[in-house]
Structure 1
Amino acid sequence: MKFAQKNVNAFIQLLQNTPELINTQDRQTLAEKIPEDIEKISEFILAWCKQRPEINGALQQVRRSLPDDEPIREKGIGGTVPTPEAKADYEKNVKEELLNALRKSSTEETEKPNTPKG
């Protein structure tokens, strides 16, 4: 697995498993500035996390916990090399997956129980 893929996957897992690490304003800023290309997304995440030592440390731990031998999504069905269009779709899906993780993690922070006190 390429480092960029592993880094983005680790960040998505971080959002899913510890949404409280990232505040609502940061989530919104991230969502607005996420680039299209997976390499650029990874670089953006690294630069953003370096300014936030607690998040950076958590990301490094998650990234280390991911196996290096996960299937690389560089080959398509039947082991064929994907077309440029297929790679573009994959990178678009990565961005969408990251945006969805950001959205889901922010709703968990704001959800309140529906039970009345008393």
Structure 2
Amino acid sequence: MSFYQQNLEAFLQLLEQQPQLFTESKRQELLRLIDPLPDDIETLSVAIASWYEKDDEIVDAQLEILNQSLLMNQEPQDSAIAKLALARFPGANNQNLPKLNQPLNKETLKNVIQQ
């Protein structure tokens, strides 16, 4: 899986798991940002990353999800290294992060933003 795909999946999880980080104006701003863009994972990922880098709270939460995802993909869930690494994340547990039950594309991104 490419970093661009991982970044978008993590962002979708963030939208679903921590909706309080996204005010209505932020959601509208995101929709205006992605609306003219092509339905291309790399383009969408770069645009989203450029947008969220302006908000420290969203950056921190996004990085937490990405780090947890990377750790779980690199280390077996029951390894001592994975357990110790995941323990440093607030509220973390040793279960795999939920996978998206939807395709990863522009339409899915817009739908999750609007929820």
Judge same fold: TM > 0.5, yes or no: yes
Structure number with larger C-alpha Rg:
1
Report the residue type matching 2:110 in the other structure. Answer: L
Q: TM-score normalised to the size of structure 2?
A: 0.66
The aligned counterpart of 1:47 is 50
CA root-mean-square deviation: 1.7
- The number of residue pairs the alignment matches comes to 82
- The CA distance in 2 between the partners of 1:21 and 1:40, in whole Å, is 23
Change (3 A) 1:93 1:7: closer
1:97, distance to aligned residue in structure 2 (A)? 1.0
* Residue type of the alignment partner of 2:2: K
Query: Which 5+ residue runs of structure 2 have no aligned equivalent?
Result: 75-102
Q: 5+ unaligned residues in a row in structure 1: which ranges?
A: 70-91, 105-118
**Structure with greater helix share of residues:** 1
Counterpart in 2 of 1:99?
A: 110
Tell me if structure 1 keeps the 8 A contact 2:9–2:104. Answer: no
Match of 2:18 in 1: 18
The answer to which structure, 1 or 2, has the higher relative contact order (CA under 8 A, 6+ apart) is 1
User: TM-score w.r.t. structure 1 length?
Assistant: 0.64
Residue identity over aligned pairs, in percent, reads 34
Distance in 1 of aligned mates of 2:104 and 2:12 = 13
Separation in 1, partners of 2:104, 2:9: 12
CA distance in 1, matches of 2:2, 2:104: 16
The 3-state SS of whatever aligns with 2:105 is: helix
Distance 1:5 1:93 in 2: 8
Consecutive aligned runs of 4 or more in structure 1 exceeding 4 Å deviation:
none
